[in-house]
Amino acid sequence: MSKLVSNEVVLEPEDNKRLSSLCGPFDDNIKQIERRLGVEITYRNNFFKIVGEPQQTKGAGELLKLLYIETQPVKGHIPDLPPDQVHLAIQEANCLEREESGQYGKEINIKTKRGVIKPRNPHQAQYVANVVNHDITFGIGPAGTGKTYLAVACAVDALERQEVRRILLTRPAVEAGEKLGFLPGDLSQKVDPYLRPLYDALFEMMGFEKVEKLMERNVIEVAPLAYMRGRTLNDAFIILDESQNTTVEQMKMFLTRIGFNSQAVITGDITQVDLPRGVRSGLRHAINVLQGVSDISFNFFTAGDVVRHPVVARIVQAYEEYDAEQERIRIAKKEAQEQEKLNKPDASDD
């Protein structure tokens, strides 16, 4: 275990309202930093003392400075620092050294209501770099790792730079327990709930009015996967979301729609397949078939890449550990059965 050290940080200019925003109600933000980084923080006015292992205390000090910058007044109002913003800042702080070394990938400079969109961890950075440098990119991993959000950001970036003439977002309308026929409305209203996450990402990055205008001109198209059959998509940035719910035939159909000067990003979580029992996931099949094909990249995210509430990462990790244990049990049982067959005396020997 590393020797504990002390790191002292002075936040200037001293401003009681900004310091209150930084610490959060009942020091909740400070407690979150302490819990996540394994340090102890005490403070008096704008003087903070951090005790812990060397790397963690240094990271906590840099984190406090970054968060204090976020409390700068906007139009005379000092913004609050909600827990999710502190959580995301902690995610970034864990990667500061890698970012400074120049290994953090291409930063996407797109201004949105939330500020500049950029990778928040090394896997996201590599994912973005692969999207930029490959014709087809797969982003595979649990919910909350930013696969779809970053893919939409890359699409918006490509459109703004006029590298493509249109954006096409699609996902399979696979029912997760509910039946489409029992949902109210026409076909468009029935499939809208499946496409809502894509709409939300677009609205956040470009604004509602601009997205609506681009959709009216068919510069942006959001449609179920079934609508892709028979089309060839040139000069387009195409995103297939929730691809774990495609069949093998649907995945092949989608991949063969890609035309000249087009890019495709396929995202999915192979642990959350909603296909009927016995139907093979097109994403699983593609991972096996397309590995090693040039101009195609595969990016695998883990629970450690989750950028939502910290408990989401722990939930994902718990499921991964459970599935791994069940697989070990299955393999052990199979090996025991095979050994039992080998040890069983042959009836012909009697």
pLDDT at 97 over 50: no
Considering only 89-103, 158-172, 224-238, 262-276, which range has the smallest mean pLDDT?
89-103
Return the higher-pLDDT residue of 175 and 286. 286
pLDDT at 177 over 50: no
pLDDT at 182 over 70: no
- What's the confidence (pLDDT) of residue 133? 81
Cross-strand bridge partners of residue 247: 281
pLDDT at 287 over 80: yes
Would you kindly state where each structural domain of the chain is located, as residue ranges? 5-94, 105-311
Q: What is the pLDDT of residues 191-229, one digit of tens each?
A: 566 677 788 888 888 888 899 899 899 999 888 888 787
pLDDT at 111 over 70: no
Nearest to 259 by CA among 286, 237, 274, 229: 237
pLDDT at 256 over 80: yes
| Candidate CATH numbers 3.40.50.300, 3.40.190.10, 3.30.1370.10, 3.40.220.10; the one for domain 5-94 | 3.30.1370.10
Considering only 105-119, 212-226, 336-350, which range has the smallest mean pLDDT?
105-119
Mean pLDDT, range 85-92, rounded to an integer = 77
| Candidate CATH numbers 3.30.70.380, 3.90.1150.10, 3.40.50.300, 3.20.20.70; the one for domain 105-311 | 3.40.50.300
- The mean predicted confidence, pLDDT, of the chain is 81
Strand 47-52 versus strand 40-44 pairing type: antiparallel
Rounded distance, CA 310 to CA 284, Å? 28
Mean pLDDT, range 77-89, rounded to an integer = 84
Q: What is the pLDDT of residues 15-34, one digit of tens each?
A: 999 999 999 998 989 988 88
